[in-house]
Amino acid sequence: MKAAVVVFPGSNRERDVCAALERSTGRKPLVVWHRESELPDADLIVIPGGFSYGDYLRCGAMAAHSPVMREIKERAAKGTPVLGICNGFQILTEAGLLPGALLPNRTLKFHCKDVHLRVESSQTLFTHGYETGQTIRVPVAHHDGNYFADDATLDRLEADGLVAFRYCTPDGEVTDAANSNGSARNIAGIFNETKTVLGLMPHPEDATDPLLGSTDGKPLFDGLVSALAGGR
Amino acid sequence: MKARVHVTLKPGVLDPQGKAIGHALASLGFGGVGEVRQGKFIELEVAETDPDRARAAVRDMCEKLLANTVIENYTIDLA
């Protein structure tokens, strides 16, 4: 599987996601600078976490309009899977590839800790390495992770099975206390309509090695490889 | 001409910063302050001299970049 990791000024998790991808694929992903208007051929496009453009105006707003995003939108429309993590999720919503927006955490604090997530469906490219309803532990590191969308959009996301992950207790209960950033309906990650674009605030790439305290993120990358490798 | 754009959170969108400002005002002894909402003010120098065309251009800027219309409203004043 050939993965392309897109880097903006202020991205800072590209090394983490490259390491996670390499652990699963056995090869280094391509790293693409945001000024490229032509993306190399890739089976997966990843937009990593960080603080692109210093979070100016709104988190992800500047990156969403950079030249490489036009190409990413075209690839996504043709079905190339796109994974946006943390700031990458914010960029995907700002670019209109995913619905809703990420507001400041309701606590107004930067959250840097492990959280538990409930996998809402295992029937996707990204999550088939998990069981539906499985609880996983992965870190978060964000200030603006409070997912917002209007009720009609949230209802549509739920009806169409487009909620990927929800914040939950270690036992898998979706409670308000487990939802520290205040996200609508505990949403931690969502898919687009074709389930080929995933955006999530937590960092599965930072839970792919025992040294990091959890390997619960690894099935996501392993699953992508088995779905997309096609012998490559 | 100058365009002044106010970007504000839509009603119903949680504004934790506004809430924190409200609490700080209360702790400073300012009574009688209800809900506080924080927004953004952006001033643009535009070359266009026709007010209608300038407004249309700035509206387009708001829709595409200056505001996120999922969560924000905007108003435009020309001067």
pLDDT, tens digit, for every residue of A70-114? 999 999 999 999 999 999 999 999 999 999 999 999 999 999 999
DSSP string of A34-85, one letter each residue: TT-SSPPP-SEEEE--B-GGGG-SSTTTTGGGSHHHHHHHHHHHTT--EEEE
pLDDT, tens digit, for every residue of A21-41? 999 999 999 999 998 878 899
Q: What is the mean pLDDT of chain A?
A: 95
Topology of the domain covering B2-28+35-78:
Mth169; Chain: A , (3.30.1280)
Q: Is the pLDDT of residue A141 over 80?
A: yes
User: In which region does residue A91 sit, left (phi positive, over 0), alpha (psi from -120 to 50) or beta (all else)?
Assistant: alpha
pLDDT, tens digit, for every residue of A210-225? 999 999 999 999 999 9
B13, B17, B65: residue with CB nearest A65:
B65
Smallest CA–CA distance, residue A24 to chain B, in Å, is 36
A99, A104, A150: residue with CB nearest B16:
A104
Per-residue burial over B29-53, b if 16 or more Cβ lie within 10 Å, else e, is eeeeeeebeebeebebeeeeeeeee
Amino acid occupying residue A34: H
Integer-rounded Cα Rg, in Å, for chain A is 16
Half-sphere exposure of B30 (CA within 13 A, CB side): 11
pLDDT, tens digit, for every residue of B6-58? 999 999 898 988 999 999 999 999 999 999 999 999 999 999 999 999 999 99
* A149 contacts B20? CB cut-off 8 A: no
What was the pLDDT predicted at A230?
Answer: 65
Q: Is the pLDDT of residue A138 over 80?
A: yes
Instruction: Please tell me whether residue A227 adopts helix, strand or coil conformation.
Output: helix
Strands A163-168 and A44-47: unpaired
Q: Which domains does chain A have, with CATH numbers?
A: 3-228 (3.40.50.880)
- The whole-angstrom separation of Cα A105 and Cα A201 is 12
Q: Which residues pair with A115 in a beta bridge?
A: A138
What was the pLDDT predicted at A232?
Answer: 46
Residue B10 neighbours by CB under 8 Å, 6+ apart: B71, B72, B73
Q: Which residues pair with A183 in a beta bridge?
A: none
Cα-based angle A210, A212, A218 (whole degrees, multiple of 5): 65
A58 neighbourhood in chain B, CB within 8 Å: 68
B16 neighbourhood in chain A, CB within 8 Å: 103-108, 182
Is A128 designated active site?
A: no
Question: Residue A198, class by beta-carbon neighbours within 10 Å (0-12 exposed, 13-18 middle, 19+ buried)?
Answer: buried
Of A18, A59, A86, A168, the active-site residue reads A86
Smallest CA–CA distance, residue B8 to chain A, in Å, is 13
Q: Any CB–CB contact under 8 A between A169 and chain B?
A: no
- The whole-angstrom separation of Cα A199 and Cα A93 is 8
Q: How many CB pairs under 8 A join A and B?
A: 36
* Mean pLDDT lowest among A4-8, A126-130, A228-232, B5-9: A228-232
Domains of chain B by residue range: 2-28+35-78
